[in-house]
Amino acid sequence: MSDTELLSRCTTILPGHRARRPAEMFHAMAAWCETNGVQHDVYGEGSTIQEFERKVADLLGFEAAVFCISGTMTQVTALRLAAMARANAPVALHPTSHIIVHERSNYQLLGHFDALQAGDRHRPWTAADITTLPDPLSAVALEIPMREIGGQLSSWEDLAAIKAHCKELDIHLHMDGARLWEAAAGYGRHVAEIAAGFDSVYVSLYKGIGGLGGAMLLGSRAFVAQASEWFRRQGGNVIHRSPYVVAAAMQFDARLASMPAYFRRTQFLYEVLREHPAIRVNPAQPQANMLHIHLPVNRERALEIRRQLAAEHGVWIFNRISHGVLPDTSFFELYVGDNLLETTDERVREAMALLAQAVSVPAIG
């Protein structure tokens, strides 16, 4: 039986939100369009998209926002413009930055900007990681929270110091806010307070929000207008953005309202995992509604365990899993969304106990 078939038969799925079939998603979108009188935009011109852009800009305290077809295009464009305005000085990136880890060297191969890595790849940025750099910088790109290290956040004091340093030296401060909505609960502060002091912010419309795709870039009117022109130059000027905007807008308020509950559920999961010393968790305490869970078995064995628990107990523990740094270890990211929120406490405890037992039993052969 394939993994897809196993997943479809599971009664308990822990990571993320419940996946909606295309027909179900499109039906919900159609109903929302009927209720709200939605018309297609034409190259970004239309009331639905422009009102949603305005809504997100107001929420985060910026003059303007613009839709972009992908976060990958959004971020390198914003940083390219910042670098061009500052004599093409390098951009500071954390070693786990999405741009470095996932974007296949696009910033370098496509000539967007020069970059230098700052900070420890296993820790979020401190103020000293930025303020002690001897090189002049055009921009600093700060991910909030830092996904590749389990959703960790720079301390509020360090974040404030980085903001002050960049303002003093006219360094463009950009936020990779793909999971900014998640960070608000961890910081215990409104998203506008977190975003204050940044010159530009990118937010995703599909990760925590659950849309079909797309992103937004926020900043000053002039900066957003310039970025919009660069999106067009790079092939981002799709004729109708309405499917992506509707898929996000129709559930935007509900998702944001659920973020505190997702965070509380993450804290509960963390306490459950503490009962099983064989399983290690990063970070030491939840800072957003996600965790990295480290297992004392290699990736291949972990995948076998996933199949076993799915087939025998109807539990789907994780989606993707990666090799650990140490031999015979692995880890996976668990994003806490509707699935875990709707799973009973008893079932969560049972699932973690099953996982702990499985990783503690030597593989046969």
All domains in the chain, ordered by first residue: 3-19+256-360 (3.90.1150.10), 38-250 (3.40.640.10)
Nearest to 81 by CA among 1, 164, 7, 141: 141
- Sign for the pseudo-dihedral over CA of 4, 9, 14, 18: positive
Q: Give the model confidence (pLDDT) of 307-365 as tens digits.
A: 999 999 999 999 999 999 999 999 999 999 999 999 999 999 999 999 999 999 766 55
From CA 208, how far away is CA 182, in angstroms rounded?
A: 7
User: Under 8 Å CB-to-CB from 327, ≥6 apart: which residues?
Assistant: 298
Q: Which amino acid is at 63?
A: E
- What pLDDT, on the 0 to 100 scale, is given for residue 361? 77
Residues 252, 32 contacting (CB under 8 angstroms): no
Phi first, then psi, for residue 295 (nearest 5°) are -115, 145
Which residues of the chain form beta strands (DSSP E)?
12-13, 64-68, 91-93, 115-117, 139-143, 172-177, 200-204, 215-219, 280-282, 290-295, 315-316, 322-323, 330-335
- What pLDDT, on the 0 to 100 scale, is given for residue 364? 57
Nearest to 228 by CA among 68, 57, 40, 99: 68
- What pLDDT, on the 0 to 100 scale, is given for residue 313? 97
Q: What is the enclosing helix (H) or strand (E) of 328? A: none
Which residues of 88-191 form beta strands (DSSP E)?
91-93, 115-117, 139-143, 172-177
Residues 171, 138 contacting (CB under 8 angstroms): yes
From CA 16, how far away is CA 4, in angstroms rounded?
A: 16
- What pLDDT, on the 0 to 100 scale, is given for residue 19? 86
Could you read off the pLDDT tens digit of each residue along the chain, which spans 365 residues?
899 999 999 999 999 998 899 999 999 999 999 999 999 999 999 999 999 999 999 999 999 999 999 999 999 999 999 999 999 999 999 999 999 999 999 999 999 999 999 999 999 999 999 999 999 999 999 999 999 999 999 999 999 999 999 999 999 999 999 999 999 999 999 999 999 999 999 999 999 999 999 999 999 999 999 999 999 999 999 999 999 999 999 999 999 999 999 999 999 999 999 999 999 999 999 999 999 999 999 999 999 999 999 999 999 999 999 999 999 999 999 999 999 999 999 999 999 999 999 999 766 55
